[in-house]
Amino acid sequence: MSGITAYGAYIPRTRLQKSAIADANDWFDASLRGLAKGERSVCNWDEDTLTMAVEAGQDCLSVLDAGSVNTLYLASTTLPFLDRQNSVVVSQALNLGDDLRTMDVAASQRAGTSALIAMLESGSTPGNALLVASEHRRSKCGSRAEMLWGDGAAAVSVGNEGVIADYLGSETYVTDFVDHYRGEDSTIDYEWEERWIREEGYMKSVPLVVSRLLDKAGVKPSDIAHFVLACDQARTPGAVARKIGISADAVIDNHIEDLGVTGVAHPILLLTEALEKAKTGDLILLTGFGQGADAVLLRATDALAGKRPETGFTGALARRREDANYNKFLNFNNLVDREVGKRGELDKQSYLAAMYRRKDLLTGFIGGKCRSCGTVQIPKEKYCVNPECGALDSQDDHPMSAVKGRVMTWTADRLTFDWNPPAYFGLVEFEGGGRLMMDFTEVESGTMDTGVEVSVHFRIRQFDNQRGFRKYFWKATPAQQ
């Protein structure tokens, strides 16, 4: 039987205090104070939909063999490229090889659940299909959305072996109910009235599709142990559950006060929390809302307890750093036109041919290991760097993205342009061998020093705003933070 075989989650470390948003905007709209409790997740300037997708995918692959993955779907409405397959970038950063199916799934808040249904219904294909849902939405300053939304990503894999949650069935109801939209020339959603969305949308579409599914599966609403309904209206999931007949204790919290609603990623992210909580035999009902509704019924197996990822939802939520700098949030999300200085105006043209030739290093962070002497080096080159070896064409690919390192030298530079000055960079020495000059990211002032352990993360390196391109590479983050 097919079903979920692994899961993973990623939530950006920074948590903006909602009180900071209210403090900056209540001169215009005092009602924001009513939403100012708690915090929301915020991407760093060098994070986006793709970088978060890679992080969530890595967490999922911490308990899954990457070699078994034959399909990658990336679900989002905030993909950075409109005509470049974003899922290919994610697949190469995860080092999944070049013989798998990739697909971007977009244009609806239920893109994640719809992609999951397609994977679950695909039959008995050997191996695993990986779904990553990721979202980094922009919103107007001082808006309800700014208070209630957050950034994040989640991943689940689907297969027929090592199943941790059996697939029992699904249903979809489609209707062109427009609760919000974003046109081709817009970067921010236009939303309709909240009560209309609740009464005509959630309260009608979700019970309808769920009743169809439960009737088909022969399951009573009271049998549902975990109910996922992603929604930025705090009381709506509970009201929908009551209408269906699902216990209030089964409703998975949307984490509006400590995370925010993460768009397309949110149903899958809450599913990872449900999987963490579930016991053998528990029924999990996952729903997705947007131009209708999806419903997916799963049952936890006894294999679930042994397949916990390295971080998971709970670990990602707990990994946090408070921030009350609203101006930084506006800058990181390009919501203000700020002065960047002459150093920030340099042309950052992307040389696509050179990028393609070095894609193993730039995207996959692949080094080399000498077959003659065992020396590890990054970047991988024609000759072995060991002076006692120097062998030609002797290096095998050696993935380095999961390897820890230590800071050998470092500099904090306030003359070099950086979106979050000072710019930190220096030499990193990796466990097992290999040294590389790298940028450091998410460094707290006063914590950087030689000998500090670091891990590497796929991040935005530069923005080429003249041509609408962004360059990615791997950066080092101090592990102690």
Q: Is residue 358 assigned to a domain?
A: no
Are 320 and 409 within one domain?
no
Q: What is the count of structural domains for the chain? A: 2
Instruction: Categorize the per-residue pLDDT at 125 as very low, low, confident or very high, splitting at 50, 70 and 90.
Output: confident
Question: b/e per residue, 141-156, with b = 16+ CB within 10 A?
Answer: ebbbbbbbbbbbbbbb
Q: Is residue 40 assigned to a domain?
A: yes
Are 322 and 410 within one domain?
no
Are 409 and 322 within one domain?
no
Identify the domain containing residue 169 by its residue range: 3-332
User: Residue 193 pLDDT > 90, yes or no?
Assistant: yes
Read off the pLDDT of residues 27-80 as tens digits, 9 standing for 90 and up: 999 999 999 999 999 999 999 999 999 999 999 999 999 999 999 999 999 999
Are 307 and 429 within one domain?
no
Domain boundary among 292, 316, 332: 332
Q: Is residue 370 assigned to a domain?
A: no
Are 434 and 313 within one domain?
no
Are 99 and 185 within one domain?
yes
- Amino acid at site 305: A
Read off the pLDDT of residues 2-15 as tens digits, 9 standing for 90 and up: 999 999 999 999 99
Are 283 and 422 within one domain?
no
Q: Is residue 387 assigned to a domain?
A: no
User: Residue 111 pLDDT > 70, yes or no?
Assistant: yes
Q: Which two tokens stand for residue 200?
A: 């005509």
Q: Is residue 348 assigned to a domain?
A: no
Domain boundary among 317, 332, 347: 332
pLDDT for 124 equals 63
Read off the pLDDT of residues 128-187 as tens digits, 9 standing for 90 and up: 999 999 999 999 999 999 999 999 999 999 999 999 999 999 999 999 999 999 999 899
Q: Compute the average pLDDT of residues 96-112.
A: 97
pLDDT for 329 equals 97
Q: Is residue 417 assigned to a domain?
A: yes
CATH of the domain at 60: 3.40.47.10
Are 235 and 126 within one domain?
yes
Are 129 and 240 within one domain?
yes
Are 48 and 174 within one domain?
yes
Q: Which two tokens stand for residue 403?
A: 């390897």
CATH of the domain at 426: 2.40.50
Q: Is residue 232 assigned to a domain?
A: yes
Q: Compute the average pLDDT of residues 233-249.
A: 98
Are 180 and 321 within one domain?
yes
Domain boundary among 332, 357, 390: 332
Read off the pLDDT of residues 259-278 as tens digits, 9 standing for 90 and up: 999 999 999 999 999 999 99
Are 308 and 423 within one domain?
no
pLDDT for 339 equals 84
Q: Is residue 341 assigned to a domain?
A: no
